[in-house]
Amino acid sequence: MSLSAIRDSSELASFRVNFRQFLKDQVVPAHSAVFRSDGFPREVWRAAGAAGFLGLDVPRELGGRGIDDYRYSAVVAQEIVAAGLNGFAITLQNDIVIPYISAIANHEQRKRWLPALCAGESVSAIAMTEPEAGSDLARLSLTACKVNGGYRLNGEKFFISNGLTQNFLLLVARTAEGPMGLSLFIVEDAANAVGRTPVTKLGLRAQDTARLAFDDHFVPDGALLGSPGRAAGYLMRMLPKERLAIAVRADAGTRKSLMLTQDHVRTRQVRGSTLGSLQGIRFALADMMAELQANEALTALAVDRLNQGRLSEADAAAAKLRSSETFRAVTDRCLHLFGAHGYLAQSEISELFLDARGITLQGGSSEIMREIIASAARL
């Protein structure tokens, strides 16, 4: 069943309506207050947990909803974008951090961590990128040195979404030299022990982003996630789902950009005619709508493969590449069609334009996606 087909199912339709109402009641009122980029208040996260929108695929006995169907997560991403709430990083928690815990943590760790994540008591982030290394795993240098009873963390992480808000950090650290020297750790409730510096970005301004500094910070042995030295393999295993989530958001952003622009050209008068009556503009919009439909079909295919347990790295890379690059190109053209009105700060189309520029970099740049696709084809 395709992503578009499930929109007609009664279960998902009800879920969509409920989540849309939740955003209107709980998240929209807080949105203007968080343009200072210090994150959404913890009450919003707790409300999301109480309403059942966190940990969708986590078993009920661990606090989730037990929905083993990624299309529900896709609806969450679509509705957040449609409401103009890209800064609310619920998809980071649902689609990136929680899956690591579900797939890698041992039984005791899952019982300890998942209920708080599903309840919104724990707000999560993932810390992989570093100031000098970027996301190049071979160059990551934050160290975790083994000591009695745990590890000491030293180094920095950069571009960390939810970095100021989080109290549950999934961290990649070097425990030994070489490609097998990276390990995963969970850093909990370290607000006073970990240095946090806000990062000002071009787009996604309501999503807090931070630089994190660790100065001999201690974590216990129980903070190790999975086996030591296995982080690179875990990351490669989990990244396709993260990239698919980015593709879903990009498609939703493209659709919203086109809807805004269609409404604009239907009413905007130029020399006695509407912009939408001009053949060049009508054809340009037709081309963009056709591209969106093709991308949505590719993303829906990837969603189906994820649900079937056979989403490949190349599948996710193709969806992310096409959708994110289209989002960037479409918002550029749509902003131009708005004229000077589109250039106004905090207009809907200008916010989408700024967000689209960053989405081509998230989860790996477009160049990395092309390398993955070419390698899968043995080129």
Q: Give tens-digit pLDDT for 188-197.
A: 987 777 888 8
* Token pair listed for 228: 């030591």
pLDDT over 70, % of the chain: 95
- Angle at which helices 279-307 and 231-267 pack, to 10 degrees? 150
State pLDDT tens for residues 172-182.
999 999 878 99
How far is residue 379's CA from residue 376's CA, in Å, rounded to a whole number?
8
Residue-level pLDDT at 324: 98
Residue-level pLDDT at 326: 98
- Domain count across the chain: 3
- Based on the fold, state whether residues 114 and 186 are members of the same structural domain: no
Mean pLDDT of the chain, nearest integer: 91
* Token pair listed for 277: 């009556």
- Based on the fold, state whether residues 118 and 12 are members of the same structural domain: yes
Residue 16, domain CATH: 1.10.540.10
- 225 and 105 Cβ atoms separated by less than 8 Å: yes
Asked if pLDDT for residue 149 goes beyond 80, the answer is yes
Give the bridge partners for 217, in sequence order.
153
Q: What is the largest CA-CA distance in the chain?
A: 79
- Based on the fold, state whether residues 65 and 105 are members of the same structural domain: yes
Hey, CA dihedral for 111, 115, 121, 126, is it positive or negative?
positive
- Based on the fold, state whether residues 192 and 284 are members of the same structural domain: no
Closest among 313, 110, 127, 106 to 226, alpha carbons compared: 106
Residue-level pLDDT at 276: 86
Q: Among 122, 140, 173, which residue terminates a domain? A: 122
Compute the average pLDDT of residues 138-167: 93
- Based on the fold, state whether residues 43 and 95 are members of the same structural domain: yes
Active site residue 61: no
Beta strands in the chain (DSSP E): 124-127, 143-147, 150-161, 168-174, 182-188, 195-198, 209-220, 224-225, 269-270, 273-274
- Based on the fold, state whether residues 266 and 341 are members of the same structural domain: yes
Q: How confident is the model at residue 34 (pLDDT cuts 50, 70, 90)?
A: low
197: containing domain? 125-229
- Based on the fold, state whether residues 166 and 254 are members of the same structural domain: no
Q: Residues 79, 242, 296, 325: which is the catalytic one? A: 242
Give the bridge partners for 195, in sequence order.
213
Asked if pLDDT for residue 309 goes beyond 60, the answer is yes
pLDDT over 90, % of the chain: 73
The single residue listed with the structure tokens 């849309």 is 20
Q: How confident is the model at residue 35 (pLDDT cuts 50, 70, 90)?
A: low
Residue-level pLDDT at 3: 47
Residue 137, domain CATH: 2.40.110.10
Q: Among 196, 229, 262, which residue terminates a domain? A: 229
Instruction: Give the chain's radius of gyration (CA, Å).
Output: 21
Residue 238, domain CATH: 1.20.140.10
- Based on the fold, state whether residues 334 and 372 are members of the same structural domain: yes
Q: Among 122, 154, 180, which residue terminates a domain? A: 122
- Based on the fold, state whether residues 224 and 243 are members of the same structural domain: no
The model carries a pTM of 0.91
